[in-house]
Amino acid sequence: MDDLVTKQLWEDTERLREELHDIAMKQGINSPGTIRASQLLDIKINEYYRCQRQSRLRSSRL
């Protein structure tokens, strides 16, 4: 189960990274759209690492 969640989070992160790049190229690096896309990517990256950490903690308890 954790592997599926982690994989989905990673895929979401990659998609958001591509979207951020596209928005930055079209609107500029300091545009509100680029900043919002960057913030969304940051949230997803933090979620991914939190999931990774929780998975390692569960594994170490076994």
Tokens 């960057």: give the residue: 38
* Domain count along the chain: 1
| Residues of the chain above pLDDT 90, percent | 73
Query: What distance lies between CA 47 and its chain's CA centroid?
Result: 7
Q: Give the confidence band of 50 by pLDDT, cuts at 50, 70, 90.
A: very high
Q: How far apart are CA 62 and CA 48, in angstroms?
A: 22
User: For all residues of the chain together, what is the average pLDDT?
Assistant: 92
Check residue 27 and give its pLDDT.
Answer: 98
- Structural domain for 22, as ranges: 2-61
Instruction: Look at residue 32 and tell me whether its pLDDT is greater than 90.
Output: yes
16 token code pair: 């958001």
Mean pLDDT of 33-43: 98
**pLDDT at residue 1 is higher than 60:** no
